[in-house]
Amino acid sequence: MIMKRAAVVLLVVMLFAYGLVYFHRVMTGIMKEEIEGFAEYYKVDPEYLLAFFPSAYFYAYALSQLFMGSLVDTYGVKRVGALMMGLMGLSTALMMLPSPAALMLGRTLVGVSAAVVFVGTQRVASLYFASSSQAIITSLLLMTGNISGLLATYPLRVFLSYYGLAGLFTILAALALTIMVLVYLLAWDVGTRKKGLGLREVWGKLVHLSREKHAWATALGAVASYGTGTAFQAAWGQDLMSRVFGYDKFTVSILLMYLALSFVLSAPLVGVLSDRVIGRRKPVLIASNAVSTLSWALIIASVPTHSSPLLLAGLVLLGVSMGLHIVAPPMAKEPYGIDYSATATSFFNLVLFTGIAVLQSTEPFVGPLANSALSLTVSLLGLVLVVAWARETLRS
């Protein structure tokens, strides 16, 4: 009972950590004015800074998956988690220096350090909670993230109007350092080395996963829904809504809040549905990709008519599809055992966040309408691959 209570307390701390990580992830989605101000001050093309400042986090987050999951499985949440949260705090403070290099380096290092939270939480869930709770825990994780995402819309817009980026970065850095201390004090997982499984064996599992069709299908299924939605939410959606529809920065932040809210409300229901009601994962992921496909069709249809109702319907459905996708992370790790849960999650995140980074970076070159068509194509591809390659993991 004491062990279970301690695991719950640690899980709550990891949920708060993910809220912080998610805020970093999507806060740039309403910072078009600030980013353009940076570009003017540093004499940089604003289109490129709008593309690469938000996506620097995602490229770094994706590439760090090559080692983060293996490190967490090998050395444990206690050491690796605390170290990375400390790096996040220092990297956030680095962005306050009056230098474009410091700005981009800080954003990149935040992406590297943020990668520990999701994989670490999935390891905690696999080690200390039943398989019939994995989707529920993932739904709580993503719900917490999107509550934080809600704060990164209109409330953040108001905060920046009063206190600016220096005030924001100071608070975010302090939160990261506080979580670092809590993780080190509360976590007791020291990894698989105590079982004789070193980094080489765990790394070998990552190589094995790269040859698994199921691993690819679940990851690309997540790109099709969560990936396309997050790229829109965190980067180029503001360009579509301001350039095509003529919305001001406050209206854009409110519309993105609707997207995040539909994710928040749907995610916990989906977790209970998968774990406790139908006892299956694959039908839910198929539904996620189908709803994502429909949402992008509505968003594209809203452009030539400048239809606000169609756009809003598309955004709400996109948020629902992101909520439905929460079965994908458990599907990605469940076939491979608890000793490799963080490594399997890392492969999943490597594919997912590479996809997000690419979808963010292409928009300045092709425009928002073409990027919407690309997102629709990715959603359809994900749907096909999930149907063909993904296997049911909970029932088996």
Model pLDDT for residues 298-355, shown as the tens digit of each residue: 999 999 989 999 999 999 999 999 999 999 999 999 998 887 888 899 999 999 999 9
Chain centre distance of CA 275: 22
Section 73-80 average pLDDT: 92
d(CA 185, CA 202): 26
Model pLDDT for residues 242-268, shown as the tens digit of each residue: 989 999 989 999 999 999 999 999 999
**Mean pLDDT, the chain, whole residue set:** 91
pLDDT for the residue 198: 59
d(CA 70, CA 74): 6
Model pLDDT for residues 17-55, shown as the tens digit of each residue: 999 999 999 998 888 888 888 888 878 888 777 778 888
CA distances from 55 to 24, 265, 314, 383 (A): 11, 27, 23, 25
Radius of gyration of the chain (CA): 20
If one counts every other C-beta atom within 10 angstroms of the C-beta of residue 43, the result is: 7
Section 50-74 average pLDDT: 88
Chain centre distance of CA 304: 31
Contact call for residues 188 and 86 (beta carbons, < 8 A): no
Query: Which of 222, 263, 27 has its CA nearest to residue 139?
Result: 263
d(CA 108, CA 96): 14
pLDDT for the residue 2: 47
Main-chain phi, psi angles of 292, to 5 degrees = -60, -45
pLDDT for the residue 3: 59
- How does residue 195 score in pLDDT terms, banded at 50, 70 and 90? low
d(CA 300, CA 383): 19
Q: In terms of C-beta density within 10 A (0-12 exposed, 13-18 middle, 19 or more buried), how is residue 101 classed?
A: exposed
Instruction: Read off the pTM.
Output: 0.85
d(CA 28, CA 111): 13
Contact call for residues 134 and 125 (beta carbons, < 8 A): yes
